[in-house]
A and B are shown apart, each in its own frame.
Chain A
Amino acid sequence: MTAAVEAPTAATVRERRRKTRRRNLRRHWQLYVLLVLPVAYFVIFQYIPMANNVIAFKDYNVVQGIWGSPWAGFDHFERFFANPVAWDLIRNTLMLSLYGFLAGFPIPIILALALNEVRARFFKRTVQMVTYAPHFISTVIVVSMLILIFSPRIGFMSDALGFFGMDSNLLADPDAFRSVYVWSDIWQTAGYSAIIYMAALAGIDVSLYEAARLDGASRLQKIWHVDLPGIAPTVVVVMILSVGSVMAIGFEKAFLLQNPLNLSQSEIIATYTYKIGLLNADFSLATAVGLFNSVINLVLLLAVNTVSKRVTGNGLW
């Protein structure tokens, strides 16, 4: 701030900056007091757990504690990959999220583009209100609804499936697990995910539409040449985030949808970590598996972001 007043040398600039900084600290001490508790939260519940990941490289036991337990190098990682289950888990996790991405990514965009064309306000508001709603329903409830609706005895969907000649007990069928998971997810979140694209569409310069109209563009051409380029940066950001979280597929829903019959497809890394860690109490192995998952994720996110920046000029940072 003060540095710009005279045209000073580098040394005096640095000196001045240090002085303002000290004055800031003294004058704004209350800001730092405010920070104490939240920073403590981040240290205790975010950064200490990150450091605790060190037990992935140790033979952790309660008696010796995290730092006292003997080192094990990459033993736990080797133990995990030596188990044939490992590749099933990785495949299940990847397939589930890729399917989710491929099916779930375009639908909110289509929904937003379609809603954007509608001029009847009541219809538009109704569609928006209704399709956002499932987002606020809990995972437990959504899975319960699935179980009830697809129940061969009670549910109306199993009747419908039977009518089309399909196996009516979908939830017991391992091959149907992914479809049930992905499409119920789309049912729950598509409306809400469309919001961000609606916002982007609202931000498009009106003069572009006028120009398109003067040129005699049809509605479809207008979507293709004005709407889509207009929301492209948003689409890219959302895409980076989804590709970057390909391995981070949530525990909550897969765990609830699991039953002994569909386990061959529904056991993913997150649910396996829970079972190994908390039910079998093999902390080191579970941590190794979890760490492997997080690292892959981080690498994917960084890679996608870099590629996207180079290709489209858009990135997260």
Chain B
Amino acid sequence: MTIETATRAEPETAPEIKARKPKRRRATQVQDTRVDRIFMVGVYALLTTFLLIVLVPLINIVASSFSSPAAVSGGRVFLWPVDFTFIGYKAVLTSDAIITGFGNSLFYAGVGTLVSVALTVMIAYPLSRSELVGRKVFIGGVLFTMLFSGGLIPTYMVVRALGLLDTRWALILPAAIGAWQVLIAMTFFRSSIPGELYEAAQLDGASDLRFLWSIVLPLSKPLLAVIALMYGIGQWNSYFSALIYLRSEELYPLQLVLRNILIVNNTGGTNLADQMAAEQMADLMKFSLIVVSTVPVMLVYPFVARHFTKGVMLGSVKG
């Protein structure tokens, strides 16, 4: 009881303290001069402009996706849906090609991420250990791939020689490990797993694998989250490997399906009236399709944003 009242009492006193604090801080701070205040108005104006530039196209797409085909085709939608309807979404979600693509992309992102994270840990962990003989050579070998790569055709020839053309593995294996992710993981292992932990584990008779599995990985959850999301979003968003390695449409990831619908424009009708309606519907579907295909990424985005920021900083630490 007493604890409960105590915690309940807290919010009442808190605003007073909060209200007092800024005043006191302002008193010790040197007042902005008039020039500074004008400068700050400029700063806010600049950032607001930037915010709007990023936001307006996004809002326009979402608003259009909820509008009627005629309103979209007539270019009558700006920031608010006109003749609000779900028709566009209904059409998108009943299209076989799109559903197949969506499923395929989930598969590629899921399995691809799993493979990539596993392989990245398998190389980054040994490379983070100073005992490893030839450590510098291995690291050099990884970093060199950031400076120079085999190129399109030579890589294509390897994929073809392995018989991976037109298989799901062609989208997963050739880009399985990113040098950048290896670098981030390696830096993380070196900087945040204390050496004492390893010594203690060794005294208890734990092998390297055991140590990696039961101590390093549980301590590295933020890192695993960052690289998993990097690989996952990368895989979800890529269309290029699919374009060059896949022939069968039933293997196409969503992005390639999208490209064929949105950019190459694969729609047609029979008679003129049909064609008009079909064209208007196709216009609307494009907007709905953009929203549907971006939703999975945007759903994870708020959770990702923080980790990604950390990831960028981890990667920027040299050495």
A interface residues, Cβ below 8 angstroms from B: 21, 24-25, 28, 30-32, 34-35, 37-39, 41-42, 44-53, 55, 66, 110-111, 114-115, 117-118, 123, 126-134, 136-141, 143-145, 147-149, 153-157, 159, 187, 190-191, 195-196, 199, 213, 218-220, 234, 237, 251-252, 256, 270, 273-274, 277-278, 283, 286-287, 290-291, 293-294, 297-298, 301
Asked whether, in the complex, the Cβ of B258 is within 8 Å of the Cβ of A140, the reply is yes
Q: A42–B51 Cα gap in the complex (Å)?
A: 41
Instruction: Kindly state whether residue B263 has any CB partner on chain A within 8 Å.
Output: yes
CB-CB contacts below 8 Å: B260-319 with A = 262-263, 283, 286-287, 290, 293-294, 297-298, 301-302, 304-305, 308-309, 312-313, 316
Interface status of B195 (Cβ within 8 A of chain A): no
- A111 adjacent to B294 (CB under 8 Å): no
> Of A21, A52, A136, A270, which contacts B298 at CB under 8 A?
A136
Tell which of A35, A47, A270 touches B122, judged by Cβ atoms closer than 8 Å: A35
B126's partner among A31, A138, A140 (CB-CB below 8 A) is: A31
Rounded to whole angstroms, the CA-CA distance of A198 and B154 in the bound complex is 39
Interface stretch (choices B7-15, B144-152, B217-225): B144-152
- B157 in contact with A38 (CB, 8 Å): no
Query: A149-B60, A199-B312 known; A218 and B154 CB under 8 Å?
Result: no
Q: Are B255 and A118 in contact (CB under 8 A)?
A: no
Residues of A near B312 (CB, < 8 A) are: 195-196, 199
Q: CB-CB < 8 A to B316: which residues of A?
A: 196, 199, 234, 237
Query: When chains A and B are docked, how far (Å) is the Cα of A66 from the Cα of B157?
Result: 9
Q: At the interface, yes or no: B35 with Cβ under 8 Å from chain A?
A: yes
Q: How far is the CB of A302 from chain B (nearest CB, A)?
A: 8
Complex CA distance for A287 and B173, rounded to whole angstroms? 22
Which residues of the other chain, B, contact A131 by a CB distance below 8 angstroms? 50-51, 54
Q: Knowing that A34-B209, A234-B316 touch, tell me 8 more A-B residue pairs with CB under 8 angstroms.
A: A53-B151, A123-B47, A127-B50, A136-B301, A140-B239, A154-B72, A294-B149, A301-B147
**Within 8 Å CB of B58, what residues of A?**
133-134
**Complex interface: chain B residues within 8 A of A187 (CB):** 53-54, 57
Asked if A144 and B39 make an inter-chain contact with CB atoms under 8 angstroms apart, the answer reads no
Residues of B within 8 A of A159 (CB): 75
B154 touches A50 (CB 8 A): yes
Contacts of A32 in B (CB 8 A): 126
B297 cross-chain contacts in A, Cβ below 8 A: 136-138
- Report yes or no: A42 in contact with B149, Cβ–Cβ below 8 A: no
Among A46, A149, A153, point to the contact of B57 (Cβ < 8 A): A149
Q: Which residues of A contact B287 (CB under 8 A)?
A: 148
Q: A287 near B75 (CB under 8 angstroms)? A: no
B80 vs chain A, min Cβ distance (A):
12
Q: Which residues of B contact A141 (CB under 8 A)?
A: 258, 290, 293-294
- B residues apposed to A, CB below 8 Å: 30, 32-33, 35-36, 39-40, 43-44, 46-47, 50-51, 53-55, 57-58, 60-61, 64, 72-73, 75, 77-78, 119-120, 122-123, 125-126, 129, 131-133, 138, 141-142, 145, 147-158, 162, 173-177, 207-209, 212, 233, 236-240, 244, 255, 258-259, 262-263, 283, 286-287, 290, 293-294, 297-298, 301-302, 304-305, 308-309, 312-313, 316
> Residue B157 contacts which of A24, A52, A127, A134 (CB distance < 8 angstroms)?
A52
Cα–Cα distance between A283 and B51 once the two chains are bound (Å): 46
Residue in contact with B39 in the complex, picked from A51, A219, A277, CB distance below 8 Å: A219
Contact call A277/B156, Cβ cutoff below 8 A = yes
A139 close to B239 (CB less than 8 A)? yes
Closest to A113 in B: B43
Q: Which residues does chain B contribute within 8 Å of A28, judged by CB atoms?
A: 129, 131-132, 208
Closest CB of chain A to B55's CB: distance in Å? 6
* A41 near B177: Cβ-Cβ < 8 Å: yes
B229 nearest in chain A by CB position:
A136
CB-CB under 8 A from A110, the residues of chain B are 46
Give chain A residues whose Cβ lies under 8 Å from the Cβ of B40. Answer: 117, 219
B176/A41 in contact, CB under 8 A: yes
> How far apart are the CA atoms of A199 and B209 in the complex, in Å?
34
> Can you list 20 A-B contacts (CB < 8 A)?
A21-B133, A24-B132, A28-B129, A31-B208, A39-B123, A44-B158, A47-B141, A49-B151, A53-B150, A55-B157, A123-B44, A133-B54, A137-B237, A144-B258, A145-B57, A148-B61, A149-B60, A191-B54, A218-B35, A274-B244
B76 to chain A minimum Cβ distance, whole angstroms, is: 9
A144 with B286: in contact, given A30-B207, A199-B316 (CB under 8 Å)?
Answer: yes
- Let me know if A273 and B153 touch, CB within 8 A: yes
> Chain A residues with Cβ under 8 A from B132's Cβ?
24, 28, 31
| Given A28-B132, A140-B263, A218-B36, A290-B173 contact (CB < 8 Å) | no
For B212, give the chain A residue with the smallest CB separation. A34
Closest 7 CB pairs of A and B: A49-B150, A52-B154, A138-B237, A38-B123, A290-B151, A144-B262, A49-B154
Min CB distance A285 to B, Å, is: 9
Identity of the chain A residue whose Cβ is nearest the Cβ of B78 in the assembled complex: A156
Residues of B within 8 A of A66 (CB): 157
